[in-house]
Amino acid sequence: MLWALIILILCGMPGKDIPHISFLELLSFDKFVHASMFFFLILLTIRGFLQQTGFIVLNKSAKLIAFVLCVIYGGSLEIMQGAMNIGRTPSIFDFIANTFGCAIGLFFYNFVHKKIFPKQIH
């Protein structure tokens, strides 16, 4: 939850407060940042959901629910940027980067989990 709050604060910053470094813009550094934030968000969300014992559905479908919620959160942040007058504009490419980060995080989780716990059902 704390990481999601940090992402909300960063995405809600006025556009004028975000540093603009020209050579990083050429490398699409912004998209890398979006993907990285959501990569870690989904890993933390999956881990949190798997630790839930009171909600069997949440525990059993942790990866699917985490992926859907993180993608919806990424889309909601882009909509928020368009709806609020903070000097930021919504971007389908930022949403794609958010979703890409979620997907890579999910694949990474599955890969690492299979390496650490090869005999468990995933």
Q: How far apart are CA 88 and CA 45, in angstroms?
A: 27
pLDDT digits (tens, 9 = 90+) for 61-82: 999 999 999 999 999 999 988 8
Q: Are 104 and 35 in contact (CB under 8 A)?
A: yes
- Largest pairwise CA distance in the chain: 52
Q: For the chain, what's the residue count?
A: 122
Q: Are 15 and 30 in contact (CB under 8 A)?
A: no
The domain limits of the chain are: 39-116
pLDDT digits (tens, 9 = 90+) for 3-40: 788 777 777 666 555 555 555 554 577 899 899 999 99
Q: How far apart are CA 77 and CA 105, in angstroms?
A: 19
Q: Are 97 and 35 in contact (CB under 8 A)?
A: yes
